[in-house]
Amino acid sequence: MGKKMRRAVCATVTLSMLPTGSGLAQEAVFELPPLTIGTALRDDRDILDTPVAGTVRQGEELERRQADTYQELIGDIPGVVIEGGPRGISQEPNIRGFQDEQVVLRLDGGRLNFNQAHRGRFFFDPDIVQRVEVVRGGGSTLFGSGAIGGVIAVETKDAADLLDPGQTTGARLRFGFSDNGRVASPTATVYGDWGRFDALGFLGAREFGEALADGNGNDILRSEVDSLNGLLTLGFEPAPDQRFELALSYYDDEGITPPNANAASTATGDVEREAEVLTGRLSWDWAPENSDVLDLSVLLYGNRLEIGEDRLSDGRRDNTEYDTVGFEVVNRSAFDIGIPVSLVYGLEAFRDTQTGTRDGSARPQFPDAEADTIGAFVEATFAVAPRLDLIAGVRFDDYSRDVDDPALADVSEEFVSPRIGFSFRPDPRWQLYGNVARAYRAPSLTELFNDGEHFADDINVGPPFGSVRFINNFVPNPDLKEEKSTQAELGMRFDQAGVFRDSDTLRLSANAYYAEVDDFIDSVVSGPDFSTVATGTVFGTTTTRNVDAELYGLEAEVDYDAGRWFGGLGLSLPRGKQTNGEALGSIPQERLVATLGFRPTDETELGLRATFASEQEDVPAGATTGQSYSVLDVFGSWSPEKGPLAGSVWRAGVDNLLDEQYTIYPNDLPQAGRTLKVSVSYKF
């Protein structure tokens, strides 16, 4: 189903949730609104019919966060951590302890595969995001390499999301300000729908006036990195059952920062950075009204990323280029073989190409290399009984990794990713589900082929040598194997309206998971080796290796909305270790997030959100433990329905109200301290 068709369903759902008559003042009975997962499952499904752990955030729930980074936007979803510290340019996903490329990140359906040494993966402004779907656990059956930890699918806004009933064209202006860092975030969006044609244009910026400050009041030096993002989306529907959509986006950030943007600023290491990212999406959706066998989606996409870094201390110039081109065809069919069967199946192919130079010459830390992946998949849902579905799927991938270096061997492998599961509905309110899946991730180009100097620093070793130079070098490992995981999960969901009163809604879910991972790719930093200390220079190494590991844990969510007030809880209890008993450095802290809100009038909302994280002591030898923390945020909004301010939304909030000094493990830098945020948006 195309995005615009899905949006029509979501709009209907949203309207069905609204009280009738005079609004919240009356206790209106309303039908249970379904919550769907679409992009992250390649098919639109009621969440009570999906056999996986998933969370959807959209619309107002995202808006109230006034997010400047993706940690602020989705970092408190159960099982999810956005790593990389307070600088938005370094942030990367972590699901259940699976990091970075172990999680598939999709923007409007296209893959965003880039990842290199804390340089981030989120190259789009949070204000243009309409919906985020997170599926936790092995998803290689549908998405192939990288979905060993899960899938994060981000959908941007389109005209249907912003137009009011009866409106053909419109515009939305927004201005936000955060006092910590003096961050100004103006955005402008124009949009229209003329029947067969619709369009949206977006331009947004985030500009810093000074460095962020942590909870102790100390500046997080070189954290003021400005960004600019533009998006143009054009839609054409030649017939009611077809839609073509073209989306082009441009992202740019620039500022002075460490090359590892999750590390502290240093006089010898800081670089002047400029990043440019161009993305393009061309899609075709065709769903004939009277056909059960044809619901076709075709997508062609491409991403081009360029990062230039000039080191301030000596003018050294590093250029990084990473291109992705992909194509996929997905169809959905339904038929009866004595029992109802629905299928989602398709083909996917994508190529990643990277090039790195240093002062115009080849850069071994980011060698010229190319990765190709071709996959075919099918997943079937069998309605074996009125309340019981069985799900079975399989995917075949063929991938290669080619490096432009005769001293390093190319890689070519195949992998099969099966999954079986069930969904049982004892009654319309409840679901019990489970699945067993095989997932994998092919090693990235940098994990296989990185070479040359990683970092250098001066260290004091004491008399008689005093200060010496420490140089850490990459050691390539072209023999690195793909990560292979067998994962099992059991869970339950409950979803009902009118639980304690006619106008309330209660949703809750809980799940337990276990993942056995063969050849987990682990990065090992060793040294310094002091055998050469007399020369004034000592050396260490950074390389990747395969280890066996297991990850397991519990997750739970509760959301309750009674109109006048609302609340929620999100619990994450992750665990993991190598099978030899040694710790993994990627397992997040245990965390509980509690939200409580009150709507004193139809136009006003007030709330608070508290986050409690426990200490993470089970860390690799020599690593810093993750300290426990408690953080309180408050938020509020006013949306006047009448008068000269009708159409505007005024928001205010304070993140980290108590100015807690805290670090989200496994980040290196502390998060921002107390931050006052205000914004106003106006639609006309």
pLDDT of residue 387: 95
pLDDT of residue 11: 41
The predicted pLDDT at position 38 comes to 81
What stretch of H or E contains 203?
A: strand 197-206
Confidence at residue 12, expressed as pLDDT on a 0 to 100 scale: 38
> For tokens 């019919």, what's the residue?
49
SS3 663: coil
CB neighbour burial string for 207-223, b if at least 16 within 10 angstroms, e if fewer: ebeebbbbbeeeebbbb
pLDDT of residue 2: 53
The dihedral of CA 207, 355, 311, 120: what is its sign?
positive
Q: How far apart are CA 231 and CA 337, in angstroms?
A: 45
What are 80-124's pLDDT values in tens digits? Answer: 999 999 999 999 999 999 998 899 999 999 999 997 767 889 999
What is the arithmetic mean of pLDDT over 346-352? 96
Distance separating the N- and C-terminal Cα atoms of the chain = 30
- pLDDT band, very low/low/confident/very high, at 343 (cuts 50, 70, 90): very high
Per-residue model confidence as pLDDT tens digits over 567-625: 999 999 999 999 999 999 899 999 999 999 999 999 999 999 999 999 999 998 878 89
Can you point out the beta strands (E) in 530-663? 537-561, 565-578, 591-601, 604-613, 629-638, 648-655
Instruction: Please say whether the beta carbons of 588 and 83 come within 8 A.
Output: no
At 134-186, the pLDDT tens digits run 999 998 899 988 899 999 999 999 999 999 999 999 999 999 999 999 999 99
Report the domain count for the chain.
1
How does the average pLDDT of the chain come out, rounded? 90
CA 548 – CA 278 distance, rounded (Å) = 38
Poorest-pLDDT segment among 25-29, 159-163, 358-362: 25-29
Q: What CA–CA distance (Å, rounded) separates 262 from 667?
A: 7
pLDDT category at 3 given cuts 50, 70, 90 is: low
CA-to-CA distance for 51 and 306, rounded, in angstroms?
Answer: 39
Question: CB–CB of 566/608 below 8 Å?
Answer: no
What was the pLDDT predicted at 29? 42
Q: What is the CATH number of the domain that holds 377?
A: 2.40.170.20
Beta carbons within 10 angstroms of residue 428's beta carbon: 11
The backbone torsions φ and ψ at residue 288, rounded to the nearest 5 degrees and listed phi first, read: -55, 135
pLDDT over threshold 80, residue 452: no
Helices (H), 105-156: 140-143
Read off the pLDDT of each residue in 651-663 and give the average, rounded to a whole number: 98
CA 238 to CA 224: how far, in whole Å?
A: 46
pLDDT of residue 367: 83
pLDDT by residue (tens digit) across 253-297? 999 999 888 889 988 889 999 999 999 999 999 999 989 999 999
26 vs 486, higher pLDDT: 486
pTM, two decimal places: 0.91
The domain containing residue 629 runs over which residues?
A: 3-683
- Gap between the Cα atoms of 272 and 266, Å rounded: 13
pLDDT of residue 54: 93
Peptide linkage before 464 cis (omega within 30 of 0): yes
Q: Which one has a higher pLDDT value, 213 or 465?
A: 213
Structure tokens at 1: 């189903």
Q: What pLDDT does residue 216 have?
A: 97
**In the 8-state DSSP scheme, what is residue 290?**
T
pLDDT per position as a tens digit, 217-253: 999 999 999 999 999 999 999 999 999 999 999 999 9
Q: Backbone phi, then psi, for 534, in 5-degree steps?
A: -65, -20
